[in-house]
Structures are given as structure tokens and as C-alpha cells.
Amino acid sequence: MAVDRIFKDEASEEKGERARMASFIGAMAIADLVKTTLGPKGMDKILQSTGRGREVTVTNDGATILKSLHIDNPAAKVLVDISKVQDDEVGDGTTSVVVLAGELLREAEKLVNAKIHPMTIISGYRMAAECARDVLSQRVVDNKENAEKFKSDLMKIAKTTLSSKILSQDKEHFAQLAVDAVMRLKGSTNLESIQIIKKPGGSLMDSFLDEGFILDKKIGIGQPKRIENAKILVANTAMDTDKVKIYGARVRVDSMSKVAEIEVAEKEKMREKVQKIIAHGINCFINRQLIYNFPEELFADAGILAIEHADFEGIERLALVTGGEIASTFDNPESVKVGHCKLIEEIMIGEDRLIHFSGCELGQACTIVLRGASHHVLDEAERSLHDALCVLSQTVNDSRVLLGGGWPEMIMAKEVDELARKTPGKKSHAIEAFSKALLAIPTIIADNAGLDSAEMVAKLRAEHHKEGCTAGIDVISGSVGDMAELGISEAFKVKQAVLLSATEAAEMILRVDEIITCAPRRREDRM
Ligand SMILES: Nc1ncnc2c1ncn2[C@@H]1O[C@H](COP(=O)(O)OP(=O)(O)OP(=O)(O)O)[C@@H](O)[C@H]1O
Ligand SMILES: [Mg+2]
């Protein structure tokens, strides 16, 4: 019997050359897809969902584009995954990592066609990656000791990150916002305490940073509009009387007056609950769920500000920044941690009223209010700002900085190329290929900016022949420029993550010699 009969009918397999081709093609197609978004002059993509609402997203962020694709090719999925990991780990470089992995595979394909075994390629790539990382870590600048210089480094990094995004026009303003917000964190990488609120209207330049926390809710009628020295109880509990929650419960009565009695009993229960809550000695109560009229009245009578239906993320953040805990039972006031802040007041942003908490327990808490023409602009602005915040918070901990604009790739390519010349054996072809793949990044940045990439990269290579060269691609003037002078910097952590993840992903895909597709296991098989 033929060997392929070991699989059931639904399963199929692709072997050897075919399997490798399928994965190369899939991975390269994904890389080519996001390639045009790379660099400050990269284009954006519109993602339209075919589902209900036909939601539209306009974005330049590699991870966002790839996350929304439904992909059938397993190798392509690996690349989508590294881009996601890059987004979670360092926030930026999500396009670069996929493009570099794609280029590594493109070069590998040529070598495989020239009959070099994938394992040889892999070991060459490993040596090359090691060498590239070494040269990167030798050329870093670390200004941790000098606060002034370090802050200017942070500004430069923020500006470089934002320059490829929608915020590039106002990058000075937003870089300042991001640096201020991250400096408040004092070294923590927990971005939870930086809240981003999006309010359509105004222009992007009207966005601002606010000390404290803003909750997108209105203060109810008859309740205090301003509270000083607030004691806040954050809760997630049912505050509704007028509906019976147990489905199928049936109450038989023989007259209308009995119905009234039930209502009274329910009201009494709610009154008790409210009393218990008030007994915590609070002056502000924020609930995840609805607060119905009757309990709201009771709170208003007691002079307590009651806010209902706060969104889940909202109350978690609020509990975090005010130093409280989310409560759902109120029998033991001692065991409930109540949050504190100096002042709660109503503020206006554009046409909307919101509630502002200032002087929070957690001093680093702050809110960035984004203004912009439409929801799409605001969503993309948030993603871009998120990239910048992520990179900055990582840089505060690891303050090593590199230049950008294709400079890191050029120095890596040069060093790797030299290594290739020194290495005997077939591996040297793979190492040389690695250097070529690295050069693809400046090439693509130049291409996307409408420049003559072949000429630019050749010029750059010549420049980089000198020791300690700081040349890179200046897309604004369209020529080779001094990156140190132009202030284009990038975080070492981002570049290192790009290099290592891309190499690992390429290696993983290269190792494949068989793709087996199986239908999900049936139920009866499990028994
Ligand atoms: N002003 C500039 N001049 C030249 N190159 C720049 C400039 N600003 C940024 N770059 C380069 O552009 C590249 C980053 O592009 P981009 O931000 O589009 O992709 P990414 O960071 O890999 O992915 P994403 O931002 O989508 O997560 C980096 O290599 C960076 O050095
Ligand atoms: Mg970027």
C-alpha cells in the first residue's frame, strides 16, 4: 500500500521541494504585502471587514494589518505571529521584522535552488545574526548618566517612531506628549496608568496630556458636581430593583396589593444594600453595572456621587490609579480597599462633559486626550501613540540607542559581509545572503520614498566604508544624510528584536520539509 494512505481521507500532505516552495511563497507574499508601509514615506492600507457594519480601518502599523488578515498559508502565519510578538514586546518594528524575515527567505530560496542544503543555510544565518548583533551592541550610544541628553534621546526616538505614522505632521507635539507621559511612569513599563481618550472634533494638534484620570461619563442629576478629598468605592454589582433576575421564577399572588408588597420588599432590600455601601464612608460610588433610579436617589440624598455603567477597562484603571479595589460585596467595610483622590470635577472636552479625577493616589497616572477629525484618524493616532509609548517605556529601562534611517542595517551588512569573506565553506554563501537581506531594508525605505534605491544604497555603502560613519537615508531631502545630525534615532531593543525574531522565523520556515493538513479530530475518535 502506498505510504500516503497512512492518513485519513480528509488529511493531505505536501512534501520536500513542494512544501518548501509553498512556505517560501506564502512568507514572501506576506512580506511584500506590508513592504510598502515601511519607512516615513510608506503608504497606509485600508482594511475593510466584510462582516456586519463593514468596518473600515486605515493604518500603517504592520501588526495591525497582519492581525486582520485571514491566512491559509502556514508559513505566512508564522510571520504574522512574529509581528504580533514584536508588537507586544517592544511595540515598534512590526513591519521591519516581517520584511526582514521575508527577505531572508527570498535569499534562502536562491541558495536552495543552487543546491545548498537548508541546514547549511541555517547555520550560516545563525553566524551572521550573531555577528550582526555584536556590531549593533558595539555601536550603541548610552546616555543614561546624563539626564539632559537622555531626554533628548527619548524625544528623537519618539519622533522617529511617529514619523512613519499619521502623526508625522505634528510629531514634535506628540513626541513631547509621549515623553512626558513616559517620564511620569518613573521606569515602570506598565502602560495601564496612561489612559488614552479619543474625542472626535478639533484637530490632532488640540490633543493634550492631562495629569490624573478622566472617565467618559456624565454626573447624574442632583448629585454633587465637585468633590474634594474623594473617597471612591469602585464596584461591580447589580443595583437594579425592577427586574427579577431568576428566569422562570414564578410568584403567585391573589391580589394587586400583594404585588405592591413584593415591590416594597424589593425596595427595602435595595435600600439596605445602599446603606451598606454608604457605610463605607465614601463620597463617590462608581459601578460597572447600571444604577437604577431608586438607588441613585438614595445616593443623591446622601450627597454621594454615583456613576453607573462605567466600562470595564475604565473601572479597572480607575481602581488602579486611585489605589482601590473593585468590590462586589459590602458586608465587611474593613476588608474593602477604598480609593482616594484629591478632586473630582466635571470638565468639558469639545462638546462633551466628562469626569476628571485629579491628585490620584498613583502619582504617575495621566490621560492623553486625542482630538481629531474622525474616528479613523483617532484610532490610527492611538495606535501610533501606543507604538511610541511602548518604545519609550522600554528605552527608559534599556537606554541604549542607535541611529535610524537604514544606518543599523548598513553597519550590520558591512560587518556580515566581511565575516562571509573570512568564512570558508558553503556557509559563506548563506552569510553573504544574510548581508544582502539586511540591505533590503534601506532599499525599501528609499523605494517607498520614490528615490532611486539602487543608487542610494550604493552611495551609502561607499560612505560606510569609512570608520564611524553615521550616514543613512534622508528621505526628506532625498539623499544620503547624517543621521546623527538629523536626529533620527532608534531604540537598540527594537532593532535587536527585529534582527533576532526575523532570523528565528526564517530558520523555522527553512526547516520545514513537509506540510500535513488534517481535518479537526472527530468526536467519536476521542472516545
Ligand atoms: N526621518 C526618517 N528618515 C529615514 N528613515 C527613517 C526616518 N524615520 C524613520 N525611519 C526608518 O523607517 C523605519 C521604520 O518604519 P516604520 O515605522 O514604517 O516600520 P516599523 O517600525 O518596522 O513598523 P511599525 O511602525 O508599523 O510597527 C526604520 O528603519 C527607521 O529607521
Ligand atoms: Mg515604526
C-beta neighbour count of 522 within 10 angstroms = 10
Catalytic annotation, pick one of 37, 64, 94, 395: 94
Ligand 1 pocket by Cβ (under 6 Å): 37-40, 42, 60-62, 92-96, 160, 163-164, 387, 404-405, 445, 473, 475, 488, 490
**Phi, psi at 165, each rounded to 5°:** -120, 180
| Residue minimizing CA distance to atom 15 of ligand 1 | 39
Catalytic site includes residue 379: no
| Residue minimizing CA distance to atom 9 of ligand 1 | 160
Question: Residue 504 — very low, low, confident or very high, per pLDDT cuts 50/70/90?
Answer: very high
Question: Residue 246 — very low, low, confident or very high, per pLDDT cuts 50/70/90?
Answer: low
Sign of the dihedral through C-alpha 273, 279, 283, 288: negative
Nearest-angstrom CA–CA distance, 63 and 58:
13
- Residue type for 221, please? I
Q: Is the confidence at residue 272, as pLDDT, over 90? A: no
Total length of the chain: 527
Burial 234-253 (b: 16+ CB within 10 A, else e): bbbebbbbeeeeeeeeeeee
pLDDT of residue 4: 52
Nearest-angstrom CA–CA distance, 295 and 251:
24
Catalytic site includes residue 387: yes
484 CA → ligand 2 middle, Å = 18
C-beta neighbour count of 296 within 10 angstroms = 21
Half-sphere exposure of 522 (CA within 13 A, CB side): 6
164 CA → ligand 1 middle, Å = 6
Catalytic site includes residue 443: no
Question: Residue 503 — very low, low, confident or very high, per pLDDT cuts 50/70/90?
Answer: very high
Nearest-angstrom CA–CA distance, 320 and 213:
10
Rg (CA), the chain: 29
36 CA → ligand 2 middle, Å = 13
Nearest-angstrom CA–CA distance, 54 and 71:
19
93 CA → ligand 2 middle, Å = 5
For residue range 79-134, what is the model confidence (pLDDT) as tens digits?
999 999 999 888 889 999 999 999 999 999 999 989 899 899 999 999 999 999 99
Q: Is the confidence at residue 221, as pLDDT, over 50? A: yes
DSSP class of 58: E
Q: Is the confidence at residue 2, as pLDDT, over 80? A: no
Q: Which 3-state string (H, E, C) describes 165-228?
A: CHHHHHHHHHHHHHHHHHHHHCCCCCHHHEEEEEEEECCHHHCEEEECEEECCCCCCCCCCEEE
Ligand nearest to the CA of 410: 1
**Residue that the C-alpha cell 527577505 belongs to:** 103
| Residue minimizing CA distance to atom 26 of ligand 1 | 61
**Residues facing residue 284 across a β-bridge:** 232, 305
- Residue type for 237, please? T
For residue range 172-213, what is the model confidence (pLDDT) as tens digits?
888 988 888 888 877 777 777 788 888 888 888 888 888 888
Query: Most confidently modeled of 137-146, 211-220, 235-244?
Result: 137-146
Cell numbers given for 496: 535587536
C-beta neighbour count of 449 within 10 angstroms = 18
Cell numbers given for 527: 472516545
pLDDT of residue 496: 92
Average pLDDT over residues 247-262: 80
Half-sphere exposure of 58 (CA within 13 A, CB side): 10
Ligand nearest to the CA of 95: 1
Q: Crossing angle for the helix pair 94-113 and 118-138, nearest 10 degrees?
A: 140
If DSSP codes are grouped into helix, strand and coil, which group holds residue 356? strand
| Residue minimizing CA distance to atom 8 of ligand 1 | 160
Q: Is the confidence at residue 1, as pLDDT, over 50? A: no
Nearest-angstrom CA–CA distance, 350 and 395:
34
Question: Residue 23 — very low, low, confident or very high, per pLDDT cuts 50/70/90?
Answer: confident
For residue range 337-393, what is the model confidence (pLDDT) as tens digits?
888 888 888 888 877 888 888 877 777 778 888 888 888 889 888 988 988 898 998
C-beta neighbour count of 229 within 10 angstroms = 11
pTM to 2 decimal places? 0.83
Mean pLDDT, all residues of the chain: 84
